[in-house]
Amino acid sequence: MKGGRQQVTKNMRLTLIVFLVMNSFLLDHAKPGSYFDYSQPGQDRWVRNYPLCAGGLQSPIPIAASRSVALPLPALEMIGYHDYLQPPFTLRNNGHTVVLKIKDESIRKRTPYIFGVLLKENDKFELESLHFHWGLKNGRGSEHVLHGTRRVNISFFLNFLTTAKLKFLEEEENRHLSFLIPHLKEVQNVNSESRLNNSIELSTLLPVDVDTYYTYKGSLTTPPCNEVVTWTVFAATVPVSFKQMNKFRLLSDGKGILADNFRYLQNVQNRKIYVRRPNATLMGKNEIIDFDPSNLKWHWT
């Protein structure tokens, strides 16, 4: 977002966000020998090495119900997310974030996948990894802004982007993050790795309600900023504590504290944002029967 970082009011809640993204474009998928950073001057320089970062469909963006179009969109279907996923997993500090690699081609095991929402019919997408975004202070951290609120976020790498918010509470710890939080000290230094041997139930990292979501066409939020992403942002929240969040702020990027690893807001321009509210009366029965999400127009004309 040109002109500097968006201001955040003191009463904004911090949350953790989950998203799924194309596994062919991992977070550190940058040109060999090049480097990017999240400072304001650093982000302004992204376009020099990655011209796509100046495109018209960039992410993240501000999202609000008042600017969204309500439609009876398909639900997210999750296979294997309610099962305990067996280790080992690899946790790595890559200097931009901390990444937990879920899929291991050398180990034959069932990989969770999703289908539904606005994915192509009969397509299913396997989970690749998850990574995190967080702020140095308790008023920032997320990339997308939902209803004017910035949040801390945790992110799943998959074959499209889906975000779920995690409500930030001072006293309430999220016991479902206990498989990960104690291991952060093992990857405090940049390029360090740790092997995790805890089982994971992925559904516990998502909110209970995944039926209500916002969706729009956008991009990766790190270089090379490819505009190949259909974002899906959940509205519900789950808890994380200040104590847990502070463990992330002990990590190093090789120059200092690893934090504020989020991209500034980009212009929405003429893009449409859709919202799925399954309990709302959106249209008549005949219109719902005739509704075809493949015919959605993603831009205002």
- Please compute the mean of the pLDDT values over residues 193-198 and round it to a whole number: 92
Nearest CA-CA partner of 20 in 168, 131, 150, 167: 131
- The answer to whether residue 10 sits within a structural domain is no
- Please compute the mean of the pLDDT values over residues 179-184 and round it to a whole number: 92
Helix (H, G, I), strand (E, B) or coil at 255: coil
Count of domains in the chain?
1
pTM (2 decimals)?
Answer: 0.81
At 35-79, the pLDDT tens digits run 789 999 999 999 999 999 999 999 999 999 899 999 999 888 888
Look up the domain containing 64 and give its range: 15-295
SS3 content of the chain, % helix, strand, coil (to 5): 15, 25, 55
Going by pLDDT thresholds of 50, 70 and 90, the confidence category of residue 32 is very low
Helices and strands (H, E) in the chain, number of each type: 4, 18
At 76-135, the pLDDT tens digits run 888 888 888 888 899 999 999 998 888 665 555 667 777 777 777 777 777 778 888 888
- The answer to whether residue 33 sits within a structural domain is yes
What are the angstrom distances between the C-alpha of 79 and each of 250, 267, 276? 34, 35, 21
- The answer to whether residue 156 sits within a structural domain is yes
State the pLDDT at residue 275: 94
- The answer to whether residue 130 sits within a structural domain is yes
- The answer to whether residue 300 sits within a structural domain is no
User: Is residue 185 a contact partner of residue 102, using CB atoms and an 8 Å limit?
Assistant: no
State the pLDDT at residue 11: 31
- The answer to whether residue 258 sits within a structural domain is yes
Residue 217 sits in a domain whose CATH number is: 3.10.200.10
d(CA 213, CA 179) in angstroms, rounded, equals: 27
Helix (H) or strand (E) holding 286: helix 285-290
- The answer to whether residue 9 sits within a structural domain is no
- The answer to whether residue 3 sits within a structural domain is no
